[in-house]
Chains A and B, each alone.
Chain A
Amino acid sequence: MIRLTGIRRDFQVGDQVVSALRGVDLMVEAGEHVAIMGPSGSGKSTMLNVLGCLDRPTAGSYELGGRDVSRLSGSELSRVRGREIGFVFQSFHLVPRLTAEGNVDLPMAFAGLAPKERKRRIAAALEQVGLSHRADHRPRQMSGGERQRVAIARAVVMQPKILLADEPTGNLDSKSGAEIVALLERLNREGLTLIVVTHDDDLGRRCRRLVRLADGAIVSDEMNEEARAG
C-alpha cells in the first residue's frame, strides 16, 4: 500500500539546511495499524505531511497504492489527498459555520460527487461514527469527542485507502479519547489502513506495529504482539 524509499525532507532555516527526514524507508501493507512515535523534533510531523501528500519530499520516492506520488503536480496531489487519504487532526479542524453534515460533505463537494450519492454517504458516515442524531448540529454545540467523531466521518466518507490520525486524542479527556480510539480501531478492523502519529505511549502501544523516529530516521520498527492479540 505504502512504500517510502530513501525519503529526505530538508528545510532551509536561515542559511542552514535542516533535514527533518534523512533517508526513511518504510513499507505499510493494506489494513495495517501503525503508530509513528517519537519525541518532538524527531520528524514525525514531517513524516505525516509527506505521507498525507501535504508536503513533497526533497529526495526519495513515495509509492501510494502502486503509484509514485512524490513528483505529482499540485492539483494531482489535491486529488490524491481528496480521494485516497483521510485526515484526522488533534484540533479537529471542523469548519465552525457548517453543521456536522456540512463538514462531512466538504470533501465530496470538492471531488464533485453527485448530490444524491453525497446524501447517502453522509448518512452512512454519520451512522458509522454514531452521530446520526447530531447531523444538523454545529461544532460549537458538540463535545470534543463528538467533534472528533464528525472529523472521522469526514475523513472516511471518500472511502480513502489510508487514514492518517495526528494525535487524535490529544485534545480529549480520557473517556472520549478511549471512545475515539475504539472507533478508529473498529474502522481498521473493517479494512481501513490506519496510521496514527503520536507521542502518547499508551496510544502507541495499542497499535499492532510501532515505528519509532528520532532525529529524522527510523530507530525501531516492531510488531506489537500484545495489541495484535487484543
Chain B
Amino acid sequence: MSLGDLLRFSGGALFGHPLRSVLSLLGMSIGVASVVLLTGLGEGARRYVIGEFTSLGTNLLIVFPGKTETTGGMAPLWGGVPNDLTLDDVEALRRRVPSIRRAAPIAMGEATARRGDRIRQLTVVGTTGEMREIRQLELNIGRFLPETMAGRGPRVCVIGCNVQRELFPEENPLGKILHLGEERFRVIGVLAPRGMSLGLDMDEIVEVPVVRAMRIFDQTTLFRVLIEVRNRSSLDATSEAVVEVLTDRHGEEDVTVVTQDAVISTFDDILRVLTAAIAGIAAISLGVAGIAIMNVMLVSVTERTGEVGLLKALGATDRQVVVAFLAEAALLAFVGGVLGLLLGETLAFVVGLVWPKIEIEAPTWAVLAALLTSSVVGVVFGVLPARRAAALDPVDALARGH
C-alpha cells in the first residue's frame, strides 16, 4: 500500500465516525495545547525576568561586604565578621581601578517619613549622583542628588512617584520639606515611574546623599557598591582588580563581587528548570490522550471485524492490516497535535493581550517535543489495537462481520 492509499483509507475510516474521532482529537489537542501554553508562560516569565535584569545595564559589578562562597548562604558564620565597606573604599576604587567608569555607593534602611500630618514608612536609599547614570533613572521633575560623597552631604532628597502622590498630593513637592526620622530634607526631584527593579519598588523610595543615610541609620558600612565598567570585555578583570584593591585595604579578602551575568544566569537556570518541570506535568495529559486513542481504536477494531476479514480475503497481509490501523491512530494523534498547537498559540495570544507585560512564546523545543510526543503516543497506543486487528482469523472475522 502506498502512503497515499494508506492516508486515504485510514483517513476515510476516521471520517466514518466523526464524533468519536473529534473527541479523541480533542483529548490530544488539549494535551498539546497545555504543553504549548504552559511552557510559553514559563519561557515568557524567564524572558521577562532576564529582560528586567538586562535593563540594568550589562556592564555592572555589584560589590557587597562579606565573603560568600559562590554557593551563597551562611557567609557570616564561615567567613567571620567582615570589615566595613566604606566610602573611602569607594574613593580608593575610583582612584586605583581605571576601568571603572562610575561607582555608586548604596546605604539602605527604613525610616518614618512625615509631611505635615501625613506619615508613612519608606525605604531610604543613600547614594550619590552617579546612581542616576548607572541605573539609568529618569526624573519627572527637578534634579538628582549631587555627585559628592564628601562632608556631611546636603539635606536633600529625591522621591519616588508614589511617594509624591501620597505625601504631596496636589502640590509641587520641589523645595518642600520632608521629615525622615529626626532630620529635615528638602525635595529636589521626583523619579519617573519605574516599578520593581532589582527587588526594590523604585516608585516607593526616597533617595538621599549616602553620608546622610549612613548617619540616619547609624551605619558604618555600605550596603552595596554598584560599579559600571568602561567596557563589557573588562568586566572580569575589573572584578579581580576590585577584590585586589579591597583586600589590600582591609588586609583580608572580605568582599564579594558579583557580575550582572552571574545573577542573570542563576535566574535563567532556575526558570528554565521550572519551565521544563511544567512541560513534564503537561506531558502527562498527552499520555492520557494516548489512552483515549487506544480506547477508540479498540472499539473501532471490534466494530470493523468484518472489514478486517474482508481486507485479508482481498490479499492484505497482517502487516498491511497493522499499518492501516496504526496509521489511523497516528493520524488522530498527529492531527490532534497540530490542532493543539494552534489552540495553544491562540490561547497564548489571548493571554498576551490580557497580560501584555509577559510575552508568551513557547520555546521551539517544547513545540517540537509536543508534536513528536503526540505522534509517538498515537503509534505506541495504536499498536495493541492494530495487532488485535491483524490477529483476527479471516474466516471468523468474515462470519462475524455481518
A residues in contact (CB < 8 Å) with B: 49, 52, 54-55, 74-75, 78-79, 81-83, 87, 89, 91, 93, 95-98, 102, 106-107, 109-112, 115, 154, 158
Contacts and interface: CB of A to CB of B under 8 A. Distances in A.
B174 to A, nearest CB: 82
Given A83-B315, A93-B313, A109-B5, 19 more contacts: A54-B394, A75-B318, A75-B319, A78-B320, A82-B314, A87-B313, A87-B314, A91-B402, A93-B309, A93-B401, A97-B12, A107-B314, A109-B2, A109-B9, A110-B314, A110-B317, A110-B320, A115-B2, A154-B314
Contacts of B310: 93, 95
Given A54-B394, A109-B5, A112-B2, A78 B312 contact: yes
B169 interface: no
Secondary structure call for the A interface: helix
B306 A49 contact: no
A93 B306 contact: yes
B241 interface: no
Interface in B295-332: 306-307, 309-320
Contacts of B317: 74-75, 78-79, 110
A91 B307 CA distance: 12
15 contacts: A54-B312, A54-B313, A74-B317, A74-B318, A78-B316, A78-B317, A81-B314, A82-B316, A93-B306, A93-B309, A93-B401, A97-B13, A98-B12, A110-B315, A110-B320
B398 interface: yes
Contacts of A55: 394-395
Given A97-B15, A107-B314, A109-B9, A49 B395 contact: yes
A10 B398 CA distance: 20
Given A95-B307, A97-B13, A158 B315 contact: yes
A167 to B, nearest CB: 12
A96 B12 CA distance: 10
A34 B316 CA distance: 27
Secondary structure call for the B interface: helix
B395 A81 contact: no
Contacts of A106: 311, 314
Contacts of B1: 109-110, 112
B16 interface: yes
Given A109-B1, A112-B2, A52 B318 contact: no
A134 B16 CA distance: 21
A111 B315 CA distance: 7
Contacts of A111: 315
A97 B12 CA distance: 7
A54 B13 contact: no
A87 B395 CA distance: 12
Interface residues of B, number: 27
Contact of B398 (A83, A93, A95, A97): A93
Which of A55, A91, A98, A109 has the largest count of B CB atoms less than 10 A from its CB? A109
Which of B1, B16, B316, B402 has the largest count of A CB atoms less than 10 A from its CB? B316
Interface in B266-321: 306-307, 309-320
A81 B13 CA distance: 23
Nearest to A98: B12
A107 B395 CA distance: 18
A82 B2 contact: no
A82 to B, nearest CB: 2
A107 B315 CA distance: 6
Contacts of B5: 109
A210 B315 CA distance: 28
Nearest to B397: A54
A87 B401 CA distance: 15
Nearest to B320: A110
A138 to B, nearest CB: 11
Contacts of B395: 49, 54-55
Interface string B384-401: 000000000011001001
B315 A82 contact: yes
B314 A52 contact: no
Nearest to B304: A95
A109 B324 CA distance: 12
A121 to B, nearest CB: 14
Nearest to B315: A82
Which of B309, B313, B314, B316 has the largest count of A CB atoms less than 10 A from its CB? B314
A69 B314 CA distance: 17
Nearest to B16: A97
Interface in B1-53: 1-2, 5, 9, 12-13, 15-16
A76 to B, nearest CB: 9
A93 B402 contact: yes
Contacts of A74: 317-318
A160 to B, nearest CB: 10
A41 B1 CA distance: 38
A79 B315 contact: yes
A74 B307 CA distance: 18
The 10 A-B pairs with the shortest beta carbon distances in the complex, nearest first, are A82-B315, A78-B317, A91-B402, A107-B314, A109-B5, A75-B317, A97-B16, A110-B316, A54-B394, A93-B310
Nearest to A75: B317
A123 B5 CA distance: 18
A25 B383 CA distance: 42
Nearest to B9: A109
Contacts of A91: 401-402
A79 B318 CA distance: 11
A91 B400 CA distance: 12
Nearest to A96: B16
Which of A78, A91, A106, A158 has the largest count of B CB atoms less than 10 A from its CB? A78
Contacts of B314: 81-82, 87, 106-107, 110, 154
A110 B318 CA distance: 11
